[in-house]
Amino acid sequence: MIDHTFTDNKRTYETGHDAGGTVHNLPVFGVGEIAQALKTTVEQTFQRIRVRGEVSGLKCAASGHIYFTLKDEGAVLDGVCWRGKAQSIRQQPEDGMEMIVTGRLTTYPARSRYQIIVESFELAGEGALLKLLENRRRMLGSEGLFDADRKRKLPFLPRVIGVVTSPTGAVVRDILSRLEERFPSQVLVWPVLVQGEFAATQIVAAIQGLNQLGDLADVPKPELIIVARGGGSLEDLWAFNEETVVRAAASSEIPLISAVGHETDTTLIDFASDQRAPTPTAAAEMAVPERHKLLAHIFDDNARLQTAVNRRVKDGRLRLHAMSLGLPDLGRTVAENTQRLDDWSERLSNALRLGVGARRSQLAVHVGGLRSPAHMIGRATERLQGELRALKREASQTLKREKDRLKAGTALLESYSYQRVLERGFALVTNANGKTVASAGVVDHGDYVTLQLADGAVRARIICGGTEKKK
């Protein structure tokens, strides 16, 4: 139990004894003091450490910070990566990925928890890399980047070849020497890093740059691109598994050969390229044919073509000679047809002379039977004048008949007019709405009506109507 308290140098002490009678003298700390003391101790003890564990609960906040936990079989450690570092990390973490993080250990007093402030991420072991590689392959494959129908046929004999590889090492020498041996071509080497943090960025820039040559520069545009590097571990070849590199290879307008690593090495760019070569040397062999074999093939085709032409000419001559044997004698055929032509010419001359004479006789007969046009016009004019006079008479009679009918109809219509009835002393009665009053039952006592007479209208009031009669 506490006997009394006292303060010394801003520290509070409590003196007393416990249940067994033992006297104690313990300082009293504030919660914030304990939290700060623990924070200082942890940060001084673990200023920079590397921790390995499985990433879980990964969350990217709207502020740009990354929050997650690292766990193993027996413990869990909170982790946070601030936005400035998160934007520059090369290997983005994912849930379930085993990683090694580098940073400093600190505490979060508001929740009494300790955490690691991460500065960098790296995959832990080849198993994690393979898992990430498989996930990325499935994602890109689902977008159709690896479909066979997207792959294009390589040009048979490209005049300009672009090579994306390291400027030093055996790879570029092997490709250039192999191209020189098989078929000398113009080669554009775009030097890049093939390993390390900036390798993927440089490879993407090289593929896109070669596609833009000819449009944005005076350098000729390649007809084929070779992306190559030598063999290495999975980590060494990782730049060719980056998503940006795979997308650049898939979107290249120029056919692309990937020659990364040895024959057993496989990277994601191999799936996106138009052709995969097992080695850089094999890529050069795929790019161009062998010059001496091509020349031999041309010479062989030339010899076969000459043989075929000679054989065809010889066979044609034989067929021509055979057919000429069956032809009739040309001189005799011409003589017979010349005689026949002379006979027909004479007969035609006689026929023309007789025909023209007969046609002249027929024309004279027809001319004699023709009448003078002036006479025919005169007769037609007389008929026309007669018809015109008859038409005028008929029109005058028809007009008179119609006038008589109109007068009779007008008189009949006038006799039916109600105005004539009014002239005999009758009146047309209308109510206040202008409707005709046809019956005494439709007006009431006191209603006003209008009486239309022959020479005008007067207004009257009903003093004895249908309503009055009912009373």
Which residues have CB under 8 Å from 436's CB, separation 6+? Answer: 428, 429, 430
| pLDDT at residue 208 in the model | 93
Closest CA to 429 of 449, 454, 447: 449
Q: Selecting from 3.10.620.30, 3.40.50.10090, 3.40.190.10, 3.40.50.261, what CATH number does the domain 155-287 have?
A: 3.40.50.261
Domain ranges of the chain: 2-130, 155-287, 291-318, 392-416, 427-470
Per-position b or e across 379-407, b if 16+ CB within 10 A of its CB: eeeeeeeeeeeeeeeeeeeeeeeeeeeee
Its CATH class, for the domain covering 2-130, is mainly beta
| pLDDT at residue 469 in the model | 44
Torsion of CA 289, 176, 169, 126, to 10 degrees: -30
Asked whether the beta carbons of 32 and 109 are under 8 A apart, the reply is: yes
Closest CA to 66 of 139, 121, 130: 121
pTM strictly above 0.75 = no
| pLDDT at residue 207 in the model | 94
Query: What would the 3-class secondary structure string for the chain be?
Result: CEEEEEEECCEEEEEEECCCCCEEEEEECCHHHHHHHHHHHHHHHCCCEEEEEEEEEEEECCCCCEEEEEECCCCEEEEEECHHHHCCCCCCCCCCCEEEEEEEEEEEHHHCEEEEEEEEEEECHHHHHHHHHHHHHHHHHHCCCCCHHHCCCCCCCCCEEEEEECCCCHHHHHHHHHHHHHCCCEEEEEECCCCCCCHHHHHHHHHHHHHHCCCCCCCCCCCEEEEEECCCCCCCCHHHHCHHHHHHHHCCCCCEEEEECCCCCCCHHHHHCCEECCCHHHHHHHHCCCHHHHHHHHHHHHHHHHHHHHHHHHHHHHHHHHHHHCCCCHHHHHHHHHHHHHHHHHHHHHHHHHHHHHHHHHHHHHHHCCCCHHHHHHHHHHHHHHHHHHHHHHHHHHHHHHHHHHHHHHHHHHHHCHHHHHHCCCCEEECCCCCECCCHHHCCCCCEEEEECCCCEEEEECCCCHHHHHC
CA-to-CA separations, 9 to 6, 13, 28, 186, in angstroms, rounded: 10, 10, 12, 85
Token pair, residue 239, equals 């730049």
Alpha-carbon gap, residue 258 to 246, rounded angstroms: 11
| pLDDT at residue 18 in the model | 55
Alpha-carbon gap, residue 115 to 421, rounded angstroms: 120
Token pair, residue 322, equals 């055979």
Alpha-carbon gap, residue 306 to 394, rounded angstroms: 101
Distance, C-alpha 162 to centroid of its chain: 30
| pLDDT at residue 22 in the model | 57
Q: For the chain, 471 residues long, give each residue's pLDDT as a single digit of tens.
A: 444 454 555 555 555 555 555 555 678 888 888 888 888 888 888 888 888 888 888 888 888 899 998 888 888 889 999 888 888 777 778 787 777 889 988 888 888 888 888 988 877 765 666 777 778 888 888 898 889 898 999 999 899 999 999 998 889 999 999 999 898 889 999 999 998 878 999 999 999 999 988 766 678 899 999 999 988 877 788 889 888 999 999 999 999 999 998 877 788 899 999 999 999 999 999 999 988 888 888 888 898 999 999 999 999 988 888 887 877 777 888 888 888 888 888 888 888 888 888 888 888 887 777 777 887 888 888 889 889 989 988 989 999 999 989 988 888 887 777 777 777 778 888 888 888 888 888 888 888 888 888 788 888 888 875 544 444
